[in-house]
Structure 1
Amino acid sequence: MDFQRTSWMVALGAFLSSCLLLYECRKLDGYKFPVWTTKSCPRNKTEWDHHSSSFNCNDESSYACLPNENFTELLEFCFPLQVLSIEKGICLYLRKVDSKVNWYNCSRFQQGCPTEHYRGSTIYEHPSCVSLGRGCFLQEPSCKSVTETPFQGTSSDELSTNYSVWVMIFASLLTIIFISVVATLLFLFFRRRKLTCMHIYLRRYF
């Protein structure tokens, strides 16, 4: 019984996780290659390797996670270069009109502007380049004054709360469906039994 309960919970968790991923990520049109939105870019090498393997980029491309040109969303995609080299003092973003990577001078950042050359595959070492407000980088001096809620991603507490809510909703739906099915089957069973008894009664006395 415990094994069945555990298996059911694992399956439920996988289903809800998939639903959350579908809700948080969506494919965008208008680019020359597949581009997906994401709530946050990888924060360490382990996460980077996991995302990179999930995208399964070919030998002539590499996984990348960068802001869009409006600095309102983070994007994941396979960029058609094996190595994405980035100079110090700049952050990159993906432009939609030609699907090319452009540079942004981050010298005015309060902190976190890269001080050495780096690669796109190590963007997690420079989180300021992928931490966005509503139309700006959070480390821009003017960004926090017009942005109340960071757009960097969802905290673990929020994810836990959202997950619990989804579990409760899904469990409630399963309960309602189960009760409805049982009630329908019982109704049909007793209705059939009543008709059978009535048929026997009629044959006996008439």
Structure 2
Amino acid sequence: MTVLHVFAYVMLQLAIPKRIDSLGYNFPVYSTDICPMTAKEWSNASIQLNCNETHGYHCVPDKNFSSLIQFCYPRGRSIPFQKGNCLELAYTGILNHVKCGHFIYGCPEKDYFSNEIYRYPACLRLVAKCFAADLNCLRKRYTMIDGREKNSTFNREQSLEEENNATGFIVAVFSLSILFLILCGLVAVLYQKIRKLQRSIDSALKEGYFSF
């Protein structure tokens, strides 16, 4: 196999959409970094996935807003939606509207069909599980992430304080134990000296060195 063949094979593998089975949809969905942005790109993507009139090609955010997904929708090629809404693939596989009137730009201003969503790029751009144009969602996400980081920092500081306290307790117990052993040793030595002195006195009394 030549280098050219290897290169062609690698490019072909990269071009094959990656199927996602972990989202619980009733039909195959495939991850994609970007959705088609023109009618021609939409048509080419439809051909690549082998979609048709009854199972029409679509590309929208998944129900967790974690990524963009493309799929052949079993309910048809062109579903009408009202203005003021973007789309998501909800539940087990239902194209659902997502209100976007609060977006800072790009919310559809007139009714449209689902296979025309490419005309509204703001509905196809995600950041941190939010639409890029949805500042309210982004603020909430930032607050949540920032809160987790602060909580994590607090937990680390708390763990460090508990560790320091435990270390201090161990040192204190060890020090008291050493002092107790030293005290026991001194008492034992003193006791031995007292016993020796007592024996000396008893011995002297018996030999008559002391008289009363």
Q: TM-score normalised by the shorter chain: which range applies?
A: 0.5 to 0.7
Q: Is residue 74 from structure 1 mapped to residue 68 from structure 2 by the alignment? A: yes
Q: Is residue 139 from structure 1 mapped to residue 139 from structure 2 by the alignment? A: no
**Aligned runs of 1:37-52 on 2, under 5 Å?**
37-52=31-46
Partner of 1:104: 98
Per mean C-alpha deviation after superposition, the further-off stretch among 70-79 and 137-146 is 137-146
Distance 2:79 2:112 in 1: 9
Partner of 2:87: 92
- Shift, 1:98, TM fit: 3.0
Partner of 1:116: 110
Partner of 1:15: 9
Partner of 1:28: 21
- Shift, 1:61, TM fit: 2.1
Structure 2 gap ranges (5+): 143-212
- Match of 2:104, as an amino acid? Q
TM-score by length of 2: 0.59
SS at match of 1:26: strand
Distance 2:107 2:66 in 1: 19
Distance 1:92 1:131 in 2: 12
- Shift, 1:140, TM fit: 0.5
Is the Cα–Cα contact under 8 Å of residues 19 and 28 in structure 2 kept in the other structure? no
Distance 1:81 1:126 in 2: 20
Structure 1 gap ranges (5+): 1-6, 148-206
- Match of 1:92, as an amino acid? L
SS at match of 1:142: helix
Is the Cα–Cα contact under 8 Å of residues 133 and 143 in structure 1 kept in the other structure? no
- Shift, 1:58, TM fit: 3.4
Aligned Cα RMSD in Å? Answer: 2.3
- Shift, 1:65, TM fit: 0.5
